[in-house]
Structure 1
């Protein structure tokens, strides 16, 4: 039996420093899990980086957002062509939960829940240090998840940077000052 779920595609604050954003994605859960954990698939919507699937395992994320969509859209002037970040797996429950920590913007958990032929993905980004970072994290997750949803549906996503530029004003209004 499939439970109806209505999701607001926008992230919400569940605590002052914690953003939660959800997407109902085409399944099965193993396919969505592969897009979270396999570097070749993850680089198509988020960042490359080989992971050893073990709690405590370090890895490096490598973002090349210009490569996520064709065309990529207009990159804002304060973003580079590549960004690298050292990360570590902090929780692992294959194929239901992956939690990671990284540098100065806290950590992220990805939780997967089967919903009939679809999968509910819940992304929770915690310990966001300030409002500026929160706005960047919110627009970033929203745009990256749009790309993931399009990839899983075999569709074409909106140009990544155009989504970032459009979403920034939305999140500035939606998130408290």
Structure 2
């Protein structure tokens, strides 16, 4: 797969490269003319002013619109625009979408880049853009566009390729925190049902095995908000030494976003190393189980 994830000015940059068997003048039309762009882009282009500073408006067909501004334009080589999400979808800054076309024999090379803020969304973006670019090639080839959806296995392959499956740790005044964040491929209700496995949960109750990794001595549930949050104490030497917390939020729309944290005291550094290894394996197994479920 010819896709990379880098960083520029502190922001993630997704780059996808494709070879196309058509001159760039034809490809340029598929990128910049609304009737063609709307056939493969995630949203329908209802307005496109092809000039620097020109306004673009996208419509998802379900009542949400997305505004954009042309930031780079050099026909038929370069077209870029920045997009701003609606107010109900706040984010740190505008996304940047960029298409660069260069001649390659009788065809051309497309370099597509997407600059954004949420690094853990990169696998969702990469798998989603693959579907869109497959449709884009169909448009350029004058073929019918087949409906497509991001495949969970492709999504999770990008998670691994981009190194989004690892955890991080930080030192605190009281000890340490291990943290994992991962975009999942199923909604929170399905993830929760898989983790809880039918067990009723309540503060003071037993922690279901799905929420552990087998190497942590789980105490009792301290907080639960189904299907969004579960926190429990963990023990060492018969006493409570820290907390494990599972949080499920909406994420990119492809599924729930998991944020898992485990805290511990400074003296238990071996347990910190165990947590980093064991939670990575546990979350990988969870992702595998979610891939086996029907698409939501």
Specify if TM > 0.5: yes
Q: CA deviation at 1:83?
A: 5.0
The CA deviation at 1:157 is: 5.7
Q: 2:103 matched to which residue of 1? A: 114
Q: Residue 161 of structure 2 aligns with which residue? A: 174
Matches within 5 A, 1:1-177: 8-9=1-2, 11-15=3-7, 17-46=12-41, 47-49=43-45, 50-63=47-60, 83-103=64-84, 104=91, 106-126=95-115, 128-155=116-143, 159-161=147-149, 163-177=150-164
The aligned length equals 151
Whose radius of gyration is greater, 1 or 2? 2
Secondary structure class of the residue paired with 1:160: coil
1:43 touches 1:63 (CA, 8 Å); kept in 2?
Answer: no
2:17 is paired with a residue whose SS is strand
Structure 1 residues 82 and 165, CA gap change in structure 2 (3 angstroms): farther
Contact 1:60 1:84 in 2 (8 A): yes
Structure that is richer in strand per residue: 2
Query: Displacement, 1:174?
Result: 1.4
1:123: how far off?
0.6
* Regions of 4+ moved over 6 Å: none
Q: 1:83 to 1:20 in 2, by over 3 A?
A: farther
> What whole-Å deviation, never above 9, does each CA across 1:90-126 have from its counterpart, x for those lacking one?
0100110001101245201100001111110101111
Q: CA deviation at 1:166?
A: 4.2
Distance 2:31 2:57 in 1: 14
What CA distance in whole angstroms lies between the structure 2 residues aligned with 1:83 and 1:151?
Answer: 25
Counterpart of 2:88? none
Greater displacement, 149-158 / 48-57 = 149-158
C-alpha distance in 2, partners of 1:114/1:51?
A: 25
Return the alpha-carbon distance in structure 2 between the equivalents of residues 134 and 14 of structure 1: 10
Q: Which structure ranks higher in relative contact order (CA pairs < 8 Å, sequence separation ≥ 6)?
A: 1
Stretches of structure 2 lacking an aligned partner (at least 5 in a row): 85-90, 165-296
Alpha carbons 2:72, 2:80 under 8 Å: kept? yes
Deviation at 1:135, TM superposition (A): 2.3
